[in-house]
Amino acid sequence: YYISGGEGSTTLTSSGNTVTGNINNGISVWAQDSSTLTASFLNEDTSTNTTGFTVTANSSAQLDIAMGNINSSNNTVNGFLVRNQNSAQLLMGIENSTIASNGNNGFDIENTSGDTMEVDLGGGDRSSTGSNSIYSNTVVDMKLNTGSQLSATQNWWGNVLGLQPAQTNLIGGSTIDSS
């Protein structure tokens, strides 16, 4: 569990961890209270937890997070839960990762902040190359709430035709570019 709070800036680098079998989250990253957190996660395995990775920006915080070679599979609820709340700013890029066979959603992305939220799974402003494998999640592969926009190009969706509408739950005008 990584928490950044207060007025300061923090840089976090994490690599090579295996966090499995927890009854709660595998890895949680939380920036709050006007803090600035810049984080990098590489080669992490967050499988067989309740939720593999939880990423939250809250209360005017700024969170800039880059991820690569993440395995977040076979979790009982979500592979990733991503939340931007209460006037926060969340910038996130993920590439070369596997998010598969989770009990609910591959990604559950919520932007209730009304402020900046950029999640790039390929081809977006965070320079993610994509190359993610996002498939076979029980409910949907991608759930986006409250008008979220997501770039997710150059990924494998478990289907040669790409991401299918049945694999998504887009709420409140949310969109996904998965071309």
Give a three-class secondary structure readout of 33-86: CCCEEEEEEECCECCCCCEEEEEEECCCCEEEEEEECCECCCCCCCCEEEEECC
- CA Rg value for the chain: 15
pLDDT digits (tens, 9 = 90+) for 29-84: 999 998 999 999 999 999 999 999 999 999 999 999 999 999 999 999 999 999 99
pTM to 2 decimal places: 0.94
Q: What is the SS3 assignment for 165?
A: helix
- As a whole number of Å, the end-to-end CA separation of the chain is 34
Reported as a single tens digit per residue, the pLDDT across 86-116 is 999 999 999 999 999 999 999 999 988 777 8
Q: What is the side-by-side strand order in the sheet with 51-57?
A: 2-4, 25-31, 51-57, 80-84, 105-111, 140-145, 168-170
For the chain, the maximum distance between any two Cα atoms, rounded to a whole number of angstroms, is: 47
